[in-house]
A = this chain, B = another copy of it.
Amino acid sequence: ISSLAARARAADPLPSWNDTAAKQSVIAFVEKVTAKDSPDYVAPVDRIATFDNDGTLWAEQPVYVQLLFTLDRLREIAPQHPEWPNQEPFASVLKGDLKAAAAGGEKAIAELVMATHAGMTTAAFEKIVVDWIATARHPQTDKLYTEMVYQPMLELIDYLKAKEFKVFIVSGGGIEFMRPWTQRVYGIPPEQVIGSSIKTKYELRDGKPYLVRLPALNFFDDKEGKPVAINHHIGRRPIAAFGNSDGDYQMLEWTTSGEGLRLGLVVHHTDADREYAYDRTSKIGQLSKGLDDAKSKGWIVADMKKDWNRVWIGKALDTNTSDK
């Protein structure tokens, strides 16, 4: 009997998911679209799945990881900017008064982002991200950010890949902030990462070409932007989409309103003990309209507390980028 139980566990593609309706619905969907004799069969080439990142694949509380990166970078490069102590929003950030800095609204945030994300080559920025993500730690858990990744979602990615899905990230976060580590952490290569971006410029320096990051927004990949970016990068509609906030509403709507069987899943943060509990009133990762409409839209709401028997990543990560 214990051997049978072990075999059952080994055959279970989603061991960190409890055997509840959420897991059963996901597995039923995947089996229906991959069984050759199924009326819902989808050819491998059309098996596109998209995942939001912040709050869907890794934690986003108390604030987005990329904002913490931005603040760390501001402090790091402040010595090169003697004007900042007399210039908002930089002065407030350097004094540690984030509320005062945020009072400048979107314009202030854009200034902080451009000061830290633009002006260097793409190669230099990649190195900055790689170095930071290897050592920076979460202010509350003291874990590496790449340890604050959800094991159940990694199992979902691996399960879909094993079933010949092509898996993409579609995030409001910066495309070049994610690409340096998504292969290592999620097994998703850079060309399958979609995100917000700033403009770049091709430039020769001493006859050698570089791409230089410019302080100008190229694309904001959130809300209505997600289907636009999916169409631009992928060129076809996903058959499955996974998100956690109202920023993913249109991605799920676009995905699940296509013809044939579709899957939409919303991760609901309900577990204050193991992770965080937030939804309708949260400033980060607000989920309200998505909760209201999930039932009528046929989207699965995965309740972190009830549906996951484990939250955090359980496998050891290599320090180097590994092959697919």
Contact = CB atoms under 8 A, between A and B. Distances in A.
A122 interface: yes
A117 to B, nearest CB: 14
A198 to B, nearest CB: 10
A81 interface: no
B224 A257 contact: no
A236 B190 contact: yes
Interface in A221-248: 224-225, 227-228, 231-236
Copies in the complex: 2
A313 B316 CA distance: 49
B228 A202 contact: yes
A231 B200 contact: yes
A128 to B, nearest CB: 16
Contacts of A208: 257
Nearest to A192: B191
A93 to B, nearest CB: 29
Contacts of A250: 202, 209
Given A209-B253, A209-B254, A224-B202, A45 B234 contact: no
A234 B202 contact: no
A235 to B, nearest CB: 3
Question: Closest 3 A-B residue pairs measured CB to CB?
Answer: A190-B235, A202-B224, A191-B234
12 contacts: A43-B323, A175-B232, A189-B235, A191-B234, A193-B235, A200-B231, A202-B224, A202-B227, A202-B254, A209-B253, A209-B257, A233-B233
